[in-house]
Amino acid sequence: MTTIQWFPGHMTRAKRQIQEKLKLIDAVIELLDARVPHASRNPMIGEILRGKPRLVVLNKADLADPHSTERWIAAFRGEGLDCVAVDSAGGRGVQEIPGRVRQLAAPLFERMKARGVNPRPVRAMIVGIPNVGKSTLINRLAGRGAAATGDRPGVTKGQQWIKVGGVMELLDTPGILWPKFDDPAVGLRLAAIGSIREEILNLEEVAFFVVKTLAAKYWDALAERFGLEGGPPDDPDDAGRIVDVLERIGRKRGCLAGGGRVDLEKASGALLRELRTGKIGRITLEEPDEFR
């Protein structure tokens, strides 16, 4: 797989906008996808945020393996970052965010109070790569349709302040993706969950990666969902065995071409749709100990 080069102009502008607005911000909410916390984390974010207090929020936790999510929370806290898992679509865990952000900003507010500055709502910025659910989270926090939502990467184009009760004001920002993926697995993981447009990567290559990952870690869930008999491939590095699993999935879903041949592109699409919607089960595609 070749290195991916993709840094649209609006993302370059978003980086500049964030840096320009940091002086107005008390704390930052870094939004990640709980299924791929490492892959969905912009490696430039620490440099961009310049040491601002930060809350890491693992969104879409309802789709992620809960045991893996616990390990990721512990890993982030081990880095000295507060971390919480939420399901912004369903609302679970979202109510914790304002209080945690206020705790992060407490030292700043104590200094303001000592100077005689009147209390005001804490000002926070939400940052994250495309399609991690920023707009859904903002709307859940605000209790209204405050931000545009969609299932396409890069729906949010501008930036706006949104009030959250009387305790917090949010500055929404467009998603930022980095200029290239040096590790091909990062691009594959993001493509698997839908954070990268499908035309950027080969669909079959993404599905191959997903089958290999699920066969090693979630074979029972994969086999149950697609009615696959027998155990996982004896050798997960045997490409032929992984393709065989994908073909079996395609037959189960009726993804056939002429002569009864399996249409691997259609089979790949079917697999990825069911992964992204949680129909295979609660899946996490990476673990924190892979990056130590």
Q: Where are the domains of the chain?
A: 4-179, 202-287
Q: For strand 161-164 and strand 168-172, is the pairing parallel, antiparallel, or unpaired?
A: antiparallel
For 70, half-sphere exposure in the C-beta direction (CA atoms, 13 angstrom radius) is: 2
The CA R_g of the chain, rounded to the nearest whole Å, is 21
Q: What is the pLDDT of residues 46-91, one digit of tens each?
A: 888 888 999 999 999 999 999 999 999 999 999 999 999 999 999 9
**Which pLDDT belongs to residue 15?**
77
- State yes or no: pLDDT of 285 exceeds 90: yes
**Which pLDDT belongs to residue 200?**
74
Q: What is the pLDDT of residues 147-195, one digit of tens each?
A: 544 443 443 444 577 888 888 999 877 667 665 677 889 989 999 999 8
Residue that wins the pLDDT comparison between 290 and 3: 290
Most trustworthy range by pLDDT among 2-16, 126-140, 233-247, 261-275: 261-275
**Which pLDDT belongs to residue 54?**
95
CA quadruple 137, 132, 193, 287: dihedral positive or negative?
negative
- How far is the C-alpha of 81 from the C-alpha of 15, rounded, in Å? 22
**Which pLDDT belongs to residue 150?**
41
pLDDT band at 3 (very low <50, low <70, confident <90, very high): low
CATH architecture, domain defined by 202-287: Orthogonal Bundle (1.10)
**Which pLDDT belongs to residue 7?**
56
% of the chain surpassing 90 pLDDT: 61
**Which pLDDT belongs to residue 46?**
84
Correct CATH for 4-179 of 3.30.70.2190, 3.50.50.60, 1.10.3720.10, 3.40.50.300: 3.40.50.300
CA dihedral 209, 42, 180, 50 (to 10 degrees): -160
Mean pLDDT of 5-12: 60
User: Exposed, middle or buried by CB within 10 Å (0-12, 13-18, 19+), for 107?
Assistant: exposed
pTM of the model: 0.89
**Which pLDDT belongs to residue 145?**
55
Residue that wins the pLDDT comparison between 42 and 292: 42
Q: Per the structure block, which two tokens stand in for 170?
A: 């949010």
- State yes or no: pLDDT of 9 exceeds 80: no
Residue 52 phi, psi (nearest 5): -60, 145
